Structure 1
Amino acid sequence: MDESTPHLSIVIPLFNAALTLPTLHQELSALEVSGGLELILVNDGSRDETEAVALKLTRESRMPMTFLSLSRNFGEHNAVLAGLRVVSGRYVVTMDDDLQNPPSEALKLLATAKAENRDVVFAIYDRKEHSWWRNAGSWLTNLIADFVVEKPRKLYLSSFRCMSRFVADEVAKSRNPYPYIDGLIFQVTQNAGTVRVRHVERSAGSSGYNLHKLVRLWISMLVNVSILPLRLMTFAGMIVSALGFLAVIEVVLEHMLHKTPTGWSSLMAAVLLLSGTQLLLLGILGEYVGRIYLGISEKPQSVVREKVSSPRTEV
């Protein structure tokens, strides 16, 4: 990296962020980063005026800045990966567009990564100013990650993170159409840490996350970075088979000793239980097969419609 390389790149995926983006840009522009700062904005198919606002800010920006417009909504993780492919900083911070993570807190992440020589540092919060269901969703996401992601146990994961350029470049190599960034990070390194930062109430707009998007994230976590569901399928199959074998022995003994006729209710219960279990396991297996098919059929992870750089970036 030459002397013109900025020390820090900040990547922000945008979705319906027209109300928060001007303030976010203003606060980021005020940050003093030794070695310089660049900003990467990725519009992930917003339906409001986000694109127009972002283009105006990029063309007028006094700091190095790049704006990517995706052709449609691909998802937060896909948008972040698109941004990681154009960074030039020695360290990279990823953050949301809602101002609930004050931009000044990014410097804490950077300072911790440098002081502790970490490949990645995640933000942790004393109190998260989200709705109860978002907090419950975050708790469940981290619970799932404890089992399926090869990370230090009980390490809290957050979308507000700082990573070294080495990790960012390795993660950006992924072309999986259903990426899970934290899973990709821990396939590269386990040298991770945390630092406490502030989390404030949302000042404008509403969260772009909903239950559907959280479920998609959980499925990506389970299927993309782990074969745990397949192992659970095997275990469940063994348990159901063992119970079925015991049930057969019980029915034979009952018939031999008491001449009791086979019960229609118990037979139907067994058939429904086994059929439901088989369909569930086939569904999990189908999810893996479907994603393999989409991968080899080259379904795009994201498509960049337009790339615009600020005058400072183009120099």
Structure 2
Amino acid sequence: MTRNAATRDGAGRSPGLSIVVPVYRGATTVGRLVEALARLRPEGGLEVVLVNDGSPDESDQVCRALLDQAPVPIIYVEHARNYGEHNAVMTGLRHARGRYVITMDDDLQNPPEEVVRLYDHARNGGWDVVYTRYAKKQHAGWRNLGSRFANLVADTLLDKPSGLYLSSFRCMSALTAEAVVRYQGPYPYIDGLIMQSTQRIDSLEVQHLPRAEGDSNYTVTRLIRLWLNLATSFSLIPLRLAIFAGATMAALGALGAVAVIVEALVTANRPSGWASTMVVLLLVGGVQSMMLGVIGEYVGRTFLSANGKPQATIRSVEHAEPLRATAPSAAASARQPATR
């Protein structure tokens, strides 16, 4: 087995397929996933790109043990801290060398046997991107509801085929992957970047299994952050909605002012309605706060991007090839310096 630093245009023959796996709390599953992937025989061969996104468990030790065994070519990238799934996928895409790239989670909910089907569907159909869809998702009810909401928001904000389900188990061509990784900002949203790159997109129904170990790493907070990335990174619609809300409240306020004047002119009593006045003030104040929050989100993200907030900081990159009878007996391990 040999190890050396690897990049997207690294030396050696490019494989037909690269499989990018972001690893977070995957110590109990990532080894089984790589073993299953090693049994696949896709056209042109495959490599596996593991991106340890600051996992707090023993994922690092497990991934390094896989480098020592190397059942298939493996590129192992370690982040200096946790940046999030989409940032980890961006790092994996930058190091993948295949003519097609499949991204998938480390939790074994996507059967490795579906990888070749997905790859062949994209390759034989000439698709730039193929998403997977599920007849039945094996997630908790709240997570399925969140996914449906995210796809509904994406239908509105992204230029995507209506009804297309955005899954993290997807296959893309090297052309699309190269276009996606041109984005250097700190808030990547892979599907938004894909929709900006191509419209040659299809979907394929695959099996979805229950989670093999533990619970989902996505919490409500993480899902909200993901929705904010989607809403504020690829569309001005939230700002336009804020303008519409402000205009609507201004129109209602004008109607209310006319009603008060009319009441003062046609009745002898002083206009009453302290409670209704307070309701209107609170409603208007709430809408104004919402609009300021939307604007602040855009301004804050722009400020952090301009200040050079990193998309990810890479601690190390290692590349392992499987041992062959004709290969040299051993070679020293070399690590690529940390980059951004």
Using the TM superposition, name which of 14-23 and 252-261 deviates more: 252-261
Q: How many angstroms does 1:63 deviate by?
A: 1.7
Tell me, which stretches of 5 or more residues in structure 1 are unaligned? none
TM-score by length of 2: 0.90
1:36 aligns with 2:37: no
1:45-194 matches, within 5 Å, as 45-194=54-203
1:310 aligns with 2:320: yes
Query: How many pairs were matched up?
Result: 315
Q: How many angstroms does 1:312 deviate by?
A: 4.7
Q: Which residue of 1 aligns with 2:230?
A: 221
- Decide whether the 8 Å contact of 1:19 with 1:205 is kept in 2: no
What amino acid sits opposite 1:116 in the alignment?
G
Give percent identity, aligned residues only: 44
What amino acid sits opposite 1:242 in the alignment?
A
Q: How many angstroms does 1:4 deviate by?
A: 1.4
Q: Which digits, 9 at most, give the CA deviation of each residue in 1:97-121, with x for residues without a partner?
A: 0000011111121111122211100
- Decide whether the 8 Å contact of 1:11 with 1:94 is kept in 2: yes
- SS where residue 279 of structure 1 aligns? helix
What amino acid sits opposite 2:129 in the alignment?
V
Bigger fraction of residues in helix? 1
Tell me, which stretches of 5 or more residues in structure 2 are unaligned? 1-8, 324-332, 335-340
Q: Which digits, 9 at most, give the CA deviation of each residue in 1:34-65, with x for residues without a partner?
A: 21101000011111100000011023203211
- 1:268 alignment partner, one of 273, 278, 296: 278
Q: How many angstroms does 1:3 deviate by?
A: 7.9
The alignment's C-alpha RMSD in Å is 1.6
Partners of 2:39 and 2:209 in 1: CA distance: 19
Partners of 1:26 and 1:259 in 2: CA distance: 86
- SS where residue 78 of structure 2 aligns? strand
Q: Which digits, 9 at most, give the CA deviation of each residue in 1:275-315, with x for residues without a partner?
A: 11101100010000000001110100111111111035999
- SS where residue 162 of structure 1 aligns? strand
Partners of 2:72 and 2:34 in 1: CA distance: 10
Using the TM superposition, name which of 106-115 and 160-169 deviates more: 106-115
Q: Which runs of 4+ in 1 moved over 6 A?
A: none
Q: How many angstroms does 1:158 deviate by?
A: 0.3
1:252 aligns with 2:261: yes
Partners of 1:97 and 1:260 in 2: CA distance: 72
- 1:235 alignment partner, one of 239, 244, 261: 244
